[in-house]
Structure 1
Amino acid sequence: MNERDFADLAVGHALNALSEADERAYQEALAGNPNWDHHVRHAVDAVAAIGDSVEPVEPPPSVRASLFARISELPQDSAVSTSPNESVVDDEDYAAAGPAVIEPEREAVTVGASSASGWGARRWFALAASFAAVLVLGFGAVTVSQLFAPPAAVVALQQIEDAPDAQSASATMPDGTVATAHWSPSSGKSVLVADGMPALPDGKTYELWFVRGEDQIAIPAGIFEPDADGNATAQLTGEMHSGDVIAVTVEPAGGSPDGTPSSAPVLAVATA
């Protein structure tokens, strides 16, 4: 299981939406990769933020009426006898009865998840649909796309990991910050994943650089801000060349005004 698959499972775990098999896979992956625990914290914080962002609303009477109407349609036989050659097939999941129509699950092409993980596009859609049903009932005004669309840097990281020429390199700074650079020449993308970066004062930001060649020319590659725990997944803008050093400096908000580093790097990962 790669880190992206684990991050998906962490969301399902935070929502208590994992199957027994996925929960076991989640626990085993976490035990084997304790440094991935920041994904768990992010997922728990996101679920809590969703809950805190909306006011409780009493469900309308129509919900109860619709539920009981669906229940009344169920067969009232106390038992069903079947011969050895017969089987009972459930055509509908009545446990999911409610005011919203639930379409039967169809076969779909899994996107953005490895074959080792059961957490693919269909589960994301089902999870999003569950939130959509809540939102339709008036429990919130946040769009599903806002809640579940992965950040561009995360998408880029997945594309790199899926590429046949994916590469990575890591470095640990004196202050304890751990950084891993991920890149793939065929995808043309590069991403820096960092844990434990110090918080910056107001008016300051972190800026990415490609440091290139014997002359150590620094080429700006975007700015980013870590989360409250000092973790960040940041995609570098521009083309990475073989042998580049990926560096991070502290710059004024908005990035270096003259396009050159104004301070020594606080983080550097050699890719050669």
Structure 2
Amino acid sequence: MFNKLQFIHPNIFNITKRKEFVADLSLNGYVDHAFEFAFNMTFGAEGHHRDHRTGGQHQRQKAELFINAFQGKLAEFGVYRKLTDNKIDVNKPDLRIMGAGLWDDFDFICGSKKISVKSAAHFSNLMLLEQKDWSKNGAYIPNLEGGNSQYDYFIFCRIKPDGKQMLRDHKDIFLKDEVDKIELKRLIINGQSWLIDIAGFIAHEDLVSIINGEFILPQKALLNGKTEMDAANYYVQSGDLHPLSDLVTELKSSI
């Protein structure tokens, strides 16, 4: 059962089902790979990352795009490690640099099951899916023409520390379109302990349920009375996610 956020008129939505951050793994062995990928996708100008969310208005700084890509790739490495530790055979995280209009059809595939990994900062308690990206039957609209529009599972991960805040604290980096790679790497990697909490997952049928149940956090809503939402999102609270152990069992039974 999924629980809706508490609504307070006119536009406040409060989290009611939290889950404490509990580190599953250290990601320090993967930060170099994630850094190179994220840098090349953004500051390196080899790839392309959207500077705004679907339906969103906020134009993201390159540093914000960088940390989103870095955090997302770290999350993929964490999930890969956790699944392979449980004897689940999946592909390694994709480190190819994608150009404009190109993106992965999925993050992982296990047998015939396609898995998407969603990441957020360690304090987040919502898995968010941009509303305009999803059809009523849970198909990912940008992939409809390619035929790979349905994911079987969505895994939600939280990463610590908060990389976005680290960069915001260094405005000489955060506000620039060009940065010194060595300086950025020193800030992100040196002395940092990167950790992941794999909070849980939902299945495709759960996604359809939250879409039909209108689990929507509207654009410009105030999350917990303070964070304004840039775009409308479907959501699942972290305390409502299925445990990863259930996914491991399902994947093993499907092979």
- Calculate the TM-score normalised by the size of structure 2: 0.23
Higher relative contact order (CA 8 A, sep 6+): 2
Q: Is the radius of gyration larger for structure 1 or structure 2? A: 1
